[in-house]
Amino acid sequence: MDTTAKQVIESGRAVLGIEFGSTRIKAVLINPDTHAPIAQGSHQWENQLVDGLWTYSLEAIWSGLQDCYRDLRADVLRQYGVEIERLGAIGISAMMHGYMPFSASGEILTPFRTWRNTNTGEAAAQLSQLFNFNIPLRWSISHLYQAMLNGEDHVGQMGFLTTLAGYIHWQLTGEKVLGVGDASGMLPIDPATGDYCRQMVDDFNNLVAEKGYSWRLEDILPRVLDAGQPAGTLTEEGAGRLDLSGHLKAGVPMCPPEGDAGTGMVATNAVKQRTGNVSAGTSSFSMIVLEHDLSRPYEEIDIVTTPDGSAVAMVHCNNCTSDLNAWVNIFREYTELMGMPVDMNEIYGRLYNNALKGNADCGGLMSYNYFSGEPITGLTEGRPLFLRSVNDKFSLANFMRANLYASVAVLKIGNDILFNKENVKVDRLTGHGGLFKTEGVGQRILAAALATPISVMSTAGEGGAWGMALLADYLVNNSAALKLPDYLEQKVFAGDTGVSIAATPEEIAGFNTYIASYEACLPVERTAVECKK
């Protein structure tokens, strides 16, 4: 059956995915027959630095969600002249991990602490040693234990701990659950059980037993669900909070809430072993689905899971395009100063494509794009920094190329461990996100960095909200009971692997020269952090 978009919406079969990204909340409505987007909505937002910690307020979360849904409704009315009354399914996704603690009565105990915070170093180091498993700074368990080490009073009042996606889902359904991919960033998952590692839960409880809290870890974590498992339905109260117009009816099935890494894997058909994807926007991360366990833990590599529970090696970088965008905005200001029309797509396109004319090693120019700390390179704070010597080839092409290289430099450092030390094999690596918006440029830069061909699909621009909609569709429209990789391969992508670009040997060698200088000059970045408070 392939019905028109209007008929799908009117019949209540359209499926909705919503994702809370770092700078934008996006909603995508899809036709379950074609899996293609039929309407979209969005809301721009920004995090705030409050008392030294990055956060979003509850007011910003809810007003942003409601404005995003309002924008979606307006798009549907504009295109089809109908209201959204019913939906086939809904899925909620958000930036991964972080820390949202609640009392037993449901009151938030401290402002949401996002993935961007790097104040959890002491806790992450101790837990990594305790578990013999790399525990990153941004994981929920790191935030929880750091709050204990800091003696924060709210910990004793804890009744529930979740992520942003888990919080929104809970408020819309009443269910305290989490998709396994997002849950794997709260506490490691045991692949044999598909649940939190029991030994680590016990080790943590023993570690903090002397503190005398009234709760145990297993009491406060969300229940773990695989993709395709029911995760509750939209309540009357939830429908009212999502759609302020009152048109949306309750009772919509909701799939397990997921993190943005999991939705990126789905959106790029990268949930099968020996596939992977790279998301490159405000932050960047690569996700490679493993055939076997790594030989040992690495501080630079996070082990999480796909939305259906397969082990994934994740290289997460706090910084990607923020500094690059800031430099492009300088050129926008220059364009305005000269009285010329401003078209940001043209500015990006011209600058990015011109970068490909630069030297493969950027002529010696060096950029550090650290708006915030970068755990992989040992920086707890960031200072954007551009370096050159008098003998370097200082041109616009090399300048832009150096900034493009910087956006994926830390990603390369982490992935070199997987490829060179662990001999991880990848059949297909797919890119998506803002870095790839200018056709071919970010794709070629990343291919040079990772010395691996990079594919970009025509659907890459749809992003994680589309991936979340696909997971919601998988919940209600998988009558053949296919496993998630097979469902995506057969029902959604139908063999589409996108357009692949491989870097030349010269480009790969040039990036290797750049990264050697980059690592050698890291003490300069550290000194900049120390000197400018």
Long-range contacts from 147-151, C-beta under 8 angstroms, 24+ separation: 147/99, 147/101, 147/110, 148/123, 148/208, 148/211, 149/122, 149/123
pLDDT at 1 over 50: no
C-alpha atoms less than 13 angstroms from C-alpha of 454 in its C-beta half-sphere: 26
Q: Residue 519 contacts by C-beta under 8 Å, 6 or more apart in sequence?
A: 413
Place of tokens 């929920």: 140
**Structure tokens belonging to residue 180:** 């396994």
CA distance 96 to 83: 32
Is the model more confident about 305 or about 494?
A: 305
Q: Are 297 and 329 in contact (CB under 8 A)?
A: no
Burial 246-272 (b: 16+ CB within 10 A, else e): eebeeebbbbbbbbbbbbbbbbbbbbb
Q: Identify whether the C-beta of residue 416 lies closer than 8 Å to the C-beta of residue 454.
A: no
531-to-233, 242, 371, 382 alpha-carbon distances in Å: 53, 46, 16, 12
- Domain-wise residue ranges, the chain: 322-407+505-531
Q: How far, in Å, CA of 285 to CA of 295, rounded? A: 21
Q: Alpha helices of 375-462 — where are they, by DSSP H?
A: 396-416, 441-450
| C-alpha–C-alpha distance, residues 199 and 204, integer Å | 9
* Single-letter code of the amino acid located at 128: S
Q: How much of the chain, in percent, has pLDDT values that exceed 70? A: 98
User: What is the total residue count of the chain?
Assistant: 533
Q: Which residues of 108-119 are buried (b: 16+ CB within 10 A; e: fewer)?
A: ebbbbbbbbbbb
Listed residue (296, 312, 239, 189) closest to 16, CA to CA:
239
Tens of pLDDT, residues 78-97: 999 999 999 999 999 999 88
Residue 1 burial (10 A CB sphere; 0-12, 13-18, 19+): exposed
> How many of the other CB atoms lie within 10 Å of CB of 208?
15
pLDDT tens-digit profile of 359-398? Answer: 999 999 999 999 988 989 999 889 999 999 999 999 999 9
The angle, 0 to 180 degrees and rounded to 10, between the axes of the packed helices 505-520 and 396-416 is: 80
With cut-offs at 50, 70 and 90, classify the pLDDT of residue 2: low
Classify 358 as helix, strand or coil: coil
Residues 177-236: tens digit of each pLDDT? 999 999 999 999 998 999 999 999 999 999 999 999 999 999 999 999 999 999 999 999
Structure confidence by residue, pLDDT tens digits, 415-473:
999 999 999 999 889 998 889 989 999 999 999 999 999 999 876 556 789 999 999 99
Angle at 184 between CA 151 and CA 138, to 5 degrees: 45
* pLDDT above 80 for 350: yes
Amino acid at the residue 305: T
